[in-house]
Amino acid sequence: MGRITKRTCTVCRRLGMSVCGRERCALKRRGTPPGVHGASARRVSAGFAFQLQEKQKARHLYGLLERQFRAYVERATATKGDTGLLLKELLEMRLDNVVYRLGLTKTRAAARQLVNHGHVTVNGKRVDIPSYQVRANDVISVRTEKRESKLFDTVRESLASREAPSWLRFDPAAWSGTVLGKPSTEELRMLFDPRPIIEFYSR
């Protein structure tokens, strides 16, 4: 299975946006792009370069390879409805993203690892595919024998106070969450601007 191997915070600095989700992201310490001329580099605000940058931001935010992200754009484009909202809906309904949204991990990368290693179940059945699309009424849980793992040391204390999005319901005592439906239009609009991304792939 393909995966991104570049240093994540280098990507954050290049894009001018934290896509790693880490509290100690290098972007907070050094806000300039990487490289010798990073401090004098100009930020793009229009045209092809801007479209490319916005596409890269969304792609890295969800930790996807180019071919994976393109497939989501093509699927959203081929479906009747608002392409931008459909794209964001597909990305948000990924299993690894739902695990992250429930607060079971601090980053999407950690959520992906959790799913890959078979620590997550959907409706009682183990699912190890991060791109698995969850549906309404699905119950996502951490396997009982894995709940004391060191993987959860950083989130265990905060689980009880975790506020999940409106389309998810989390039960900290059961280490599980239920998908109540799809994200609302308002929640989807807050994620990122899909217009330059769609324009990029429409060239």
Rounded Cα–Cα distance for residues 15 and 25 (Å): 13
pLDDT at 99 (0 to 100)? 97
- pLDDT exceeds cutoff 90 at 196: yes
Q: What is the per-residue pLDDT across 34-82, written as a single tens digit (0 to 9) for each?
A: 654 455 555 565 689 999 999 999 999 999 999 999 999 999 999 999 9
Mean pLDDT confidence for 3-27? 60
- pLDDT exceeds cutoff 80 at 107: yes
Rounded Cα–Cα distance for residues 187 and 70 (Å): 22
Q: How many other CB atoms are there within 10 angstroms of residue 73's CB atom?
A: 22
- pLDDT exceeds cutoff 80 at 11: no
87: helix, coil or strand? helix
pTM of structure? 0.80
Give me the chain's average pLDDT, please: 86
Using pLDDT thresholds of 50, 70 and 90, give the confidence band for residue 6.
low
Q: What is the dihedral angle through the alpha carbons of 180, 20, 58, 45, rounded to the nearest 10 degrees?
A: 140
Residue 121 has φ and ψ, to the nearest 5°, of: -120, 150
- pLDDT exceeds cutoff 70 at 110: yes
Using pLDDT thresholds of 50, 70 and 90, give the confidence band for residue 113.
very high
51 or 162, which is more confident: 51
Structural domains of the chain, with CATH: 94-179 (3.10.290.10)
Q: Which of 1-5, 34-38, 134-138, 171-175 has the largest mean confidence?
A: 134-138
pLDDT at 176 (0 to 100)? 95
Could you give the C-alpha distances from 69 to 26, 122, 157, in angstroms and in order? 25, 24, 34
Mean pLDDT confidence for 14-38? 59
pLDDT at 72 (0 to 100)? 98
Q: What is the per-residue pLDDT across 114-151, written as a single tens digit (0 to 9) for each?
A: 999 999 999 999 999 999 999 999 999 999 999 888 77
